[in-house]
Amino acid sequence: MNYKNYIEITPDKRFGKPCIKGTRISVYDVLGWLASGMTYDEIVADFPQLKREHILACLAFAADKERKVKVLTT
């Protein structure tokens, strides 16, 4: 999954948060819905502009960001 096909960061949209292309729905919105227990089908039903691929792209984005986190030691 190449999340860059589905996610964009635009400084003047949602304060520069990563969003699904063509929407104002942020990656963090989608991750929050998943964390609260919503299923893919429930999210798509509530937000018909989203597709399963968009949700998977959000997960891929979060996984990629997690891989890039540097651990600081004291």
**11 part of a folded domain:** yes
Distance CA 26, CA 13 (A): 10
**53 part of a folded domain:** yes
**43 part of a folded domain:** yes
Distance of CA 11 to the CA centre of its chain: 16
Q: How many CB atoms lie within 10 A of CB 36?
A: 7
- CATH number for the domain spanning 9: value is 1.10.10.10
Q: Using CB atoms within 10 A of its CB, is residue 19 exposed (0-12), middle (13-18) or buried (19+)? A: buried
**50 part of a folded domain:** yes
Residue 68 binned pLDDT confidence (cut-offs 50, 70, 90): confident
Q: In one letter, which amino acid is 45?
A: A
pTM over 0.95: no
Q: In one letter, which amino acid is 26?
A: S
Q: In total, how many domains does the chain have?
A: 1
Q: In which domain, by residue range, is 29 found?
A: 3-66
Residue 67 binned pLDDT confidence (cut-offs 50, 70, 90): confident
pLDDT digit string (tens) for 2-51?
999 999 999 999 999 999 999 999 999 999 999 999 999 999 999 999 99
**46 part of a folded domain:** yes
**74 part of a folded domain:** no
Q: How high is the pLDDT of residue 74?
A: 64
